[in-house]
Structure 1
């Protein structure tokens, strides 16, 4: 994992006079699991390396480069700093709300970009199995496969699928039986975004050159 490799390279950075930090930009479809992924990563790294997570929200209009710098300087030297709603800073600029005292930039702070898109059938399958862990294995695999086969590829976010399953959290068979009707209803209500492809978390770890674009 890229984050683990970085955390084990502190001496390498020190020998070359490079600041020991690594910035990741997670971008893509709303509800695709970006924040959940960060918290999952933080939980893993907290157990392995004792890292805690700190959160800064850029939707705060009073935040500037200076205040962001102050917040960053107050965090421990070894931690995960999650900066949420990065797009809020740029939306303010487009609307003309940016001023010399309300201006956050990210020059030199982003090393890696990771794209998150809508859910694949593989992810739909895995989400179903995690939602119903007490089912016998054979039933879980059969129902999960049937559920995933009814989910259009990269048409719905993970948050959408999770919301549907929440409505049937005690009845997996009903979730499988009703999901096609749910899909048809959503297709009538909204125009799906098919312009993005999804890179699931396993691909990020196993094929680091494909979904991750290094900016170094």
Structure 2
């Protein structure tokens, strides 16, 4: 072993001797030219090519550098041995990164790419209005020359798209509203926003699982359908109409859709919009990957159903609601938003000034809406939010009481299954009963729910019986008095039909 170290020291001494001779004989310029020529020859015979991506492009920030940093964070968290860790502003996730001089190998379309992160100290810089960072950071990409046509620029485009999606998913989602009376602020942005933290998901949504799967599949097809919409020449948007009685979970459905797709929500208040022009400006200021919501559209503005013989009466506003603008007499006259403007908003030329957006309308009375507003192309999918079914009831009991699937086959559950449809109770009412009894033992809370449903069925039966009796009395009075109005006769007939349908 001693002889090996002696030989190694001799070799190093000889190498140092020849190096000193070269430095004494050859000038620095010649040595630099020789080294440059050697590197060129090495690159010519090498099977790899290299790309350097610096953090700063001159005095401007290189967007590609930050995209690569975010893209590699997915692989760095598992493959790298030494990592940097950060969390950005308004971000809900931690970002892993490569440490100084660390390497990682990434694959794309069957080809491999090696990334190395380099951090060096920048030399002292002269005075500048925009000083550069003290450290110079860059990524070096090493790929095989034969893979260059395959990776450049497709690989870099993939990195940019993936980083944009990761950045959007990591940021907190926002809930926007136009509650400024339609006026624009100094920056020309008419929306105010707050962080969107609604906990509703499709797992907790009280709805039949088969219908939820259908809606989720439709949402996924839309989010992944960029190529389809481009090939067919259609705007990348989709409309959903949620209708049904109050308390059936329409707002929870919207929140579940936003959480499922990681979209922002724009809650458009039509009563705050004065003209069609303001409506277009609001649409232009929405972003892609968002859900534009108009709740209770039949009550927002007086949109006449042109297919009906007489206009549907608008919903009465609360007594303490003041006119949006101007005096009480001039407020309605100043409002010029029309059905035509709303139709153009959802499916006109202006609706195409963005991509990957979903329009959602909600209503309690679908018959009040104009057919042109709910046709396919504007509202592509109609979702009826019905009363609480037994499948939805089981989901609510699991959410509030922790009721397991193994417990859903006993006598108590069979009684609930028999009575829930006849009770015609909304998921909101069921939730109220379960919340009130959530601290009780599970079976006691379920028994209390059963009693509430039975009481509701009895009230409905008594109400229907009273209506039938009243209808029969009105019919009898009408036969005795020829001057009885035709409306009363029709009312009595309808009451009888409702009773017969209930008995069936």
TM-score relative to the length of structure 1: 0.69
170-179 or 91-100: bigger deviation: 91-100
Matched, 1:147 2:359: no
Bigger Cα displacement from structure 2, 17-26 vs 64-73: 64-73
Structure (1 or 2) with the larger CA radius of gyration = 2
Q: Which residue of 1 aligns with 2:297?
A: 86
Unaligned runs of 5+ in 2: 1-216, 305-311, 315-331, 348-377, 468-497, 499-504
1:52 to 259, 264, 270: 264
**Match for residue 127 of structure 1?**
396
Kindly tell me: are residues 71 and 23 of structure 1, through their superposed partners in 2, closer, same or farther at Cα, counting changes over 3 Å?
Answer: same
Instruction: Measure the CA separation in 1 of the matches of 2:240 and 2:256.
Output: 15
- CA-to-aligned-CA distance 1:121-165 (integer Å, 9 cap, x gap): 2222322222211x5654465454443333234722222222232
Partner residue of 1:199? Answer: none
**Distance in 2 between residues matched to 1:56 and 1:120, nearest whole Å:** 31
More strand by share: 2
Counterpart of 1:68?
279
**Structure 2 residue aligned with 1:203:** none
Residue aligning to 1:212? none
Q: 2:382 aligns with which of 75, 97, 113?
A: 113
Aligned 8 A contact 1:23 1:112 in 2: yes
Partner of 1:201: none
Match of 2:292, SS? strand
Establish whether residue 103 from structure 1 lines up as the match of residue 338 from structure 2.
yes
Q: Scaled by the length of structure 2, what TM-score is found?
A: 0.33
Taking only aligned residues, the RMSD between alpha carbons, in angstroms, comes to 3.1
Give how far 1:112 is off: 2.2
2:233 paired residue among 17, 37, 46:
17
Q: 1:137 to 1:25 in 2, by over 3 A?
A: closer
Query: How many Å apart are 1:5 and its aligned residue?
Result: 0.3
